[in-house]
């Protein structure tokens, strides 16, 4: 039985699938932030790495420059959900998929129609005033230059994303671990068995099978029960037709 057929059969038999969505799923969606070539271009243009600009320190000390980068390089290149996310939405609608845990900040799962999603690093679509708590949408950050100030109290509106140097919300971690503990099958997409995402949550998995679908082979693939390697937008609709 081929890897694709095995993964397909396990998913067909599963009752409670939880999916760990890695950053590799954003490839071919139009998101640039996690692309290696993009990171090189950013260092060439800004003189700093993406990680340095996307940090708590940079946000606090160079707020204007942070929002210039955030607006031009992130918000204007947030991509669109492709067949990967559309397939996950179908799985959820069918009652097969009980939850998704994602590291991406682009909200692609939710935009594809998925409901039970834990975006552990937040999304670009959630913004709020740290002083009065007023909520603001994506367009407010995009349109209010150079710095988006709260209309109520004039504090800087804060994107609700986790920056370098910040901790992930305990509430989100708790929700994610509870989901994983309830799953009978764990589906890992666009990531490896050695990634931060996988290692953070697989220890809470009590189910029977771990399935991995990724772009390229990795030495840690042997730790999964079923592996499928290739073009994710092509493979996932075949695994769950």
Looking at residues 78-94, what average pLDDT do you find? 97
Q: Assign 239 to helix, strand or coil.
A: helix
Question: Per the structure block, which two tokens stand in for 26?
Answer: 């954003």
Q: In the chain, what are the domain boundaries?
A: 3-29+81-121+168-239, 36-77
List Cα–Cα distances, 136 to 59, 151, 159, in angstroms.
Answer: 18, 10, 9
- Predicted local confidence at residue 2, as pLDDT: 64
Query: Across residues 2-10, what is the average pLDDT?
Result: 92
Task: Specify whether the CB–CB gap between 135 and 128 falls below 8 A.
Answer: yes
Q: What is the pLDDT of residue 14?
A: 97
Kindly state the helix (H) or strand (E) to which residue 101 belongs, with its residue range.
strand 97-102
Check whether 81 has a pLDDT greater than 70: yes
Q: Is pLDDT above 80 for 232?
A: yes
User: How high is the pLDDT of residue 36?
Assistant: 67
Condensed to tens digits (0 to 9), the pLDDT of residues 130-180 reads: 999 999 999 999 999 999 999 999 999 999 999 988 999 999 999 999 999
Note the pLDDT tens digit of each residue in 7-65.
Answer: 999 999 999 999 999 989 998 898 887 766 778 888 888 999 999 999 999 999 999 99
pLDDT in tens, 151-164: 999 999 999 999 98
Strands 226-229, 209-214: pairing is parallel
Mean predicted lDDT score pLDDT of the chain: 95
The full DSSP string for 34-58 is: T-HHHHHHHHHHHSS-HHHHTBHHH
Q: Report the CATH number of the 3-29+81-121+168-239 domain.
A: 3.40.50.1220
pLDDT digits (tens, 9 = 90+) for 198-228: 999 999 999 999 999 999 999 999 999 999 9
The CB-based long-range contact list for 133-137 (8 Å cut-off, 24+ gap) reads none
Pairing mode of beta strands 185-189, 17-21: parallel
């Amino acid at each position: 039985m081929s890897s694709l057929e095995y993964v397909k059969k396990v998913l067909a038999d599963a009752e409670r699938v939880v999916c760990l969505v890695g950053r590799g799923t954003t490839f071919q969606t139009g998101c640039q932030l996690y692309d290696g070539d993009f990171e090189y271009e950013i260092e060439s243009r800004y003189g700093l790495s993406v990680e340095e600009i996307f940090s708590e320190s940079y946000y606090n000390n160079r707020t204007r420059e942070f929002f210039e980068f955030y607006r031009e390089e992130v918000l204007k290149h947030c991509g669109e959900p492709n067949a990967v996310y559309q397939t996950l939405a179908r799985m959820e609608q069918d009652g097969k998929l009980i939850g998704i845990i994602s590291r991406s900040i682009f909200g692609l799962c939710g935009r594809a129609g998925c409901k039970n999603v834990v975006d552990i690093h937040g999304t670009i679509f959630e913004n709020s005033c740290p002083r009065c708590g007023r909520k603001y949408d994506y367009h407010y950050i995009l349109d209010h230059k150079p710095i988006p100030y709260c209309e109520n109290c004039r504090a800087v509106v804060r994107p609700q994303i986790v920056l370098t140097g910040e901790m992930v919300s305990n509430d989100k971690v708790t929700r994610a671990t509870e989901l994983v503990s309830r799953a009978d099958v764990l589906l890992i997409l666009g990531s490896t068995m050695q990634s931060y995402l996988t290692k953070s949550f697989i220890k809470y998995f009590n189910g029977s099978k771990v399935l991995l679908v990724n772009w390229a082979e990795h030495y840690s693939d042997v730790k999964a029960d079923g592996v499928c390697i290739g073009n994710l937008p092509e493979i996932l609709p075949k695994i769950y037709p």
